[in-house]
Amino acid sequence: MSLTFPPVVLQVLLAALVLVAAATDLRSRRIPNWLTLAGVLAGIVLNSFLNVDRFNWRTALLGLGLAFAVYFPLYLLRGMGAGDVKLMAAVGALMGPANWFAIFILSNVLGGIAAVLILLSKGRLWGTFRNVGYMLNELLHFRPPYMRREELDLKSPKATTMPHGVAIAMGSISFLVAAWIWAPRV
């Protein structure tokens, strides 16, 4: 599975999708259903219509499914919002599984850097590292981490959160720039 240069129409839609999602996530800490549903439908329909190498209805569904399979467990553990799951599913439907995976890696690396900067500014970096160790221990014992520590529940006012839609936008835009530089053209 290698990266593929996406058709321009898919690039434009991806950029529009993630930029609107990032703006609404920053403003209201929500990513609207109309936006994610439109992204999923556009991904499936356009990929079906384009039907070019690595951009067809099968790759759209595989990208959507991969994104959902990776993000839904994080939602169940209360570490991710439902809008983030649906946004990444829409990104997967637009870009297919290989390109989605690259966006996933970029989003998490860039989001991690942003999270460290936010935690440093709030003086909570070392406490977060302790929480990560605690979470890993709880998960190894098949216990949801948020059950014993309220600050690990995304919905708790004690939680330090970051709008993940912004990280997804940073990863997606970085992917598009990288695709223009390095990905072979279809």
Local confidence band at 80 (pLDDT 50, 70, 90 cut-offs): confident
Contact in structure between 96 and 63 (CB atoms under 8 Å): yes
Q: What is the pTM of this model?
A: 0.87
Q: What average pLDDT does range 56-84 have in this prediction? A: 93
Look-up of token digits 């637009």? 94
User: What residue type is 149 in one-letter code?
Assistant: R
What integer pLDDT is reported at residue 144 of this predicted model?
83
Contact in structure between 24 and 45 (CB atoms under 8 Å): no
What integer pLDDT is reported at residue 1 of this predicted model?
53
Neighbours of 179 (CB within 10 A): 19
Q: Which among 161, 181, 25 is positioned nearest to 88, based on CA atoms?
A: 25
110 pLDDT exceeds 70? yes
> Is residue 181 packed enough to be buried (19+ CB in 10 Å), middle (13-18) or exposed (0-12)?
exposed
Token output for 157: 């006012």
DSSP secondary structure, 23-91, as one string: HHHHHHS---HHHHHHHHHHHHHHHHHH-BTTBSHHHHHHHHHHHHHHHHHHHHTTSS-HHHHHHHHHH
Over the stretch 129-165, which tens digit does the pLDDT of each residue have? Answer: 888 888 888 888 888 887 777 777 777 777 767 799 9
What integer pLDDT is reported at residue 71 of this predicted model?
96
